[in-house]
Amino acid sequence: MLVAPLLLLLFVPFPASTGNQDPPKATNGELFPWDRMRLPKTVSPIHYDLTIHPNLTTFHFTGVARIELDVHEDTNMVVLHAKQMQISSVLLLAPDGVRPLKVLEYPHFHQLALLSDSVLTKGQMYEVKLEFAANFSDSYHGFYKSSYRTRTGEVRFLASTQFEATFARGAFPCFDEPAFKAKFTIRIIREPRHIAISNMPKVKTVELLGGLLEDHFDTTVKMSTYLVAYIVSDFLSVSKMTQHGVKISVYAVPEKIDQTAYALDAAVKLLDFYDDYFDIPYPLPKQGLVVISPASKHSMYLCLILFPADLAAIPDFQSGAMENWGLTTYRETALLFDPDRSSASDKLAITKVIAHELAHQWFGNLVTMEWWNDLWLNEGFAKFMEYISLDITYPELHVDDFFLGKCFEAMEVDSLSSSHPVSTPVENPMEIQEMFDDVSYDKGACILNMLRDFMTPESFEIGIIKYLKQYSYQNTVNGHLWDSLTNVCGSDDLDEGRMKHKESCSKGNLASGSSKWYSDDELDVRTIMDTWTLQEGFPLVTVEVRGREIRLSQERYLKTDNASLTEGFLWQIPLTYMTSASETVHRFLLKGKTDVLYLPEEVEWVKFNVNMSGYYMVHYEGEGWNSIIRLLQNDHTVLTSNDRASLIHNVFQLVSIGKVRLDTALELSLYLSRETEIMAVTQGFGELVPLYKLMEKRDMAALENQMKGYIVDLFRGLIDQQEWADSGSVSERVLRSYLLLFACVRNYPPCVTKATQLFNEWKDSDGNMSLPVDITMAVFVVGARTPEGWDFLFEKYSHSMQMSVKSRMKIAMTVSPLKDKLKWMMEQSLHGEVMKTQDLPDVVVSISKNPIGYKLAWDFLRANWRTLIKKFDLGSNTVSYMVTGVTSQYSTREMLDEIRSFFGSLTEETGSKMRCIQQTYETIEDNIRWMETNLPLLQAWLDKRRQRMPHEDL
């Protein structure tokens, strides 16, 4: 663990100082006897007995927490967490009787100190009993209220939890750090018109005085506080059993319960897959009855009570979903699916998010990182397992077509000097919140994919099963994973594993998987992977072919004009490459700054990072890029779609750091006129569209329109091939939606004409006409251009119960050129009545991409900053998304100065130290450098092609 260990407290009223200038003072003015953000380890919780009584009329709750403690060192105090909570009574239940404890509160660290006038003795068991009360949270964290509107317009309320990362302390007093695992027995008091659900099955319901009911839930397995969950609502549910005997239920508001069937089937299928893949039943039971399951690959199960796997769609939810053990929670758009009105991309997204949260039941819940510095052990694995699981269980979704995009997204953040290592020290809640970013999720997944390719999928699978079995119900650090993945076949744990694992190991070839990479060395996973997790950024590998020699060198890829910032970085890079002379994938572990490979013969071209399985970029020096351009022009299908996408990505990114001229990258892009595969096509758009988006924020319409015309011309053939219907594979359908939307936004006449016709027909039918799902975004965007069309779209949005349809309408309305409508949308999203406040970030960022609305979005963000950081929390991914999203397309010194002026005026309490602010400065500075360097080249190159671009007015 990278965080310094805490000193254990032994009878001292105050710990050694950690550098604070003044000792902390409690709210009553007394000295607070602990001055660290992290809790002392003198005591730890074993079991929580928790009773919660939420009032959905006053939006207030009361509760009682009895916490059984294990004392590790003699002490006279217990320090734990509580945030914005009134504590009315605290008792110590000791072996020698019951006595009150003195309570001191230190709100800055969200801590309570419970002081005893006698010693709590090491090895003895104690309980503390705390009575507390609080209001529902005003944000989407902690125990908060949610609401929804019925078809008749009635507003109904519910209460739900979201405790990750540091918000359980706002719902009940607790040891709110992931290493303090304990069991929880939960009781919820409610009105008869509601139901309550929690992590575990309900054991019984007791009638209380006043007509209230108290639901008693079974005791959980040992787990961290951030995984506790409970919901009080009027939800309905549908249920099914998995092959392995787990009951899965999906909960939603009554009027949307008919949209839960797909999620239920997906959850059943995916939980069975994980049960088999990880070779650990869900969850790993310890005792109980033997239940024979003939349909299972496991001969028997040990279980006393079926541990549930419930999924709940929450009307107000900030993140996409949350992996609470036994009760995963989701945005409605992330769970609800209408077979007639949801798109192919909706199906893909919903299946991925369910796969992600169910993977967490093992990675994160069963085995949990010791501290938030290693969050990637949870999130990187869950993101990675989305793709592993769906590739096998839902091959028709072609999930491989979309994984590469996650690596590109991670590289975007990781190419800035403000990036951070995958595993990085964090302490306060804001820093912890900032860990939930593309580095922890997407980079984590991409380096795991690289490691899997490096080790072979078979040995990688054995290693992670070994890791999960060895550390079940425990907490881990990076090194535990690397140890499990080293010498994967040397483990007694595999004796109980599946036969195929034993057979694979008996072949004797898995443990030496590295031999195909670097024949002189044993596999040293820790040494290799430390270079990828303990330092930020990623390598740029430069390749120069001289005859039969391939000269290799590595450096950090960094978007900066300060060369010193790239020094001191070295990775162990699992290189893969293929050549014109052989279809074989060759492998080599690059350990030093430079090295040389020798080919058996001279070749026409060489392509490194085959299928982009590695998390690194490649620069082809000398004639390297020209040879690749010729290859793509002659027969691009020689390379895979992923290889082509990675070349497009790499060449344009290398322009940003001056390694490649812009005209070289544009010459490579010419082959895209013959491209049909989704990953390569969307990456082409991903590199070309931002160029004119930068110009939209400047007064340079002529060049901007030339660039837009070039892109339309490049993809015209593919756009013209698209049917205005739902047909083809998932990838083909997603691509169709993407292409037609682009064409209509860019005013491509055939697209606009068709979309206008369909919108008018749909409007004339009062929205009852059934539009092909995949083309609705294009139709809605064109329709929202007029006041009448926009108002009609909004009216349908307001009354729709189909979440995916509402989402498409919402985005289409943000693309409108009607400035007053854009301002109104942001204001209404903030108020949260006719449009949900949870949708505000998407609305603001989408409007910021609109050439009519970009300044409106920035002005809105500034004017409402304090409200936004209170609602969405400092350091959260949501706040970061708004900050970077709204500012990422600015490229002038004037706007940089304006943005610096605003963020520079903030205090630490209002976010001045957030990483996303530094990312914003770096991104705009990079945009400015790009424009200053490349605009003349772009103008010259487009001028040469003017005669081939008849649509300059687009």
Retrieve residue 683's tokens. Answer: 């990456």
Cβ atoms of 450 and 574 within 8 Å: the answer is yes
Tell me how far apart the terminal alpha carbons of the chain are, to the nearest angstrom. 56
Retrieve residue 499's tokens. Answer: 């036969």
356 known ligand binder: yes
Spatial CA neighbour of 879 closest among 848, 901, 907, 910: 910
Q: Is 897 helix (H, G, I), strand (E, B) or coil?
A: helix
Retrieve residue 592's tokens. Answer: 């030093």
360 known ligand binder: yes
Q: How many CA atoms lie within 13 A of 214 on its CB side?
A: 13
Cβ atoms of 288 and 302 within 8 Å: the answer is yes
Q: How far is CA 743 from CA 479, 717, 757, in A?
A: 50, 12, 15
Cβ atoms of 803 and 774 within 8 Å: the answer is no
Retrieve residue 854's tokens. Answer: 């970009």
User: Rounded distance, CA 506 to CA 517, Å?
Assistant: 21
Cβ atoms of 69 and 44 within 8 Å: the answer is yes
User: Rounded distance, CA 809 to CA 815, Å?
Assistant: 10
User: Rounded distance, CA 93 to CA 131, Å?
Assistant: 14
Strand partners, 554: 541
Residue holding tokens 């072949």?
507
Retrieve residue 382's tokens. Answer: 């869950």
Catalytic residues: 357
Mode of pairing for the β-strands spanning 142-149 and 125-135: unpaired
Spatial CA neighbour of 427 closest among 878, 2, 881, 137: 2
Cβ atoms of 791 and 809 within 8 Å: the answer is no
Total residues found in the chain within this entry: 954
User: Rounded distance, CA 872 to CA 80, Å?
Assistant: 25
Mode of pairing for the β-strands spanning 111-120 and 155-162: unpaired
Retrieve residue 467's tokens. Answer: 């890791």
| Per-state percent for the chain, helix, strand, coil, to nearest 5 | 45, 20, 35
Spatial CA neighbour of 882 closest among 861, 855, 913, 904: 861
Whether the CA torsion 420, 423, 427, 433 is positive or negative: it is positive
Buried b (16+ CB within 10 A) or exposed e, 765-791: eeeeeebbbbbbbbbbbbbbbeeebbe
Q: What is the Cα 324 distance to its own chain's centre?
A: 15
Retrieve residue 753's tokens. Answer: 């004409």
- Helix ranges (DSSP H) in 817-890: 819-831, 840-849, 854-863, 865-872, 877-887
Task: Please spell the DSSP secondary structure of 487-504, one letter per residue.
Answer: STT--GGGGGS-HHHHHH
What value, to the nearest 5°, has the Cα angle with vertex 527 and ends 521 and 532?
125
List strand residue ranges (DSSP E) for 636-713, in order.
Answer: none
Task: Please spell the DSSP secondary structure of 180-247, one letter per residue.
Answer: --BEEEEEEEE-TT-EEEESS-EEEEEE-GGG-EEEEEPPPPSB-GGG--EEEE--EEEEEE-TTS-E
Residues making up the annotated binding site are: 356, 360, 379
Residues making up the annotated binding site for Zn(2+) are: 356, 360, 379
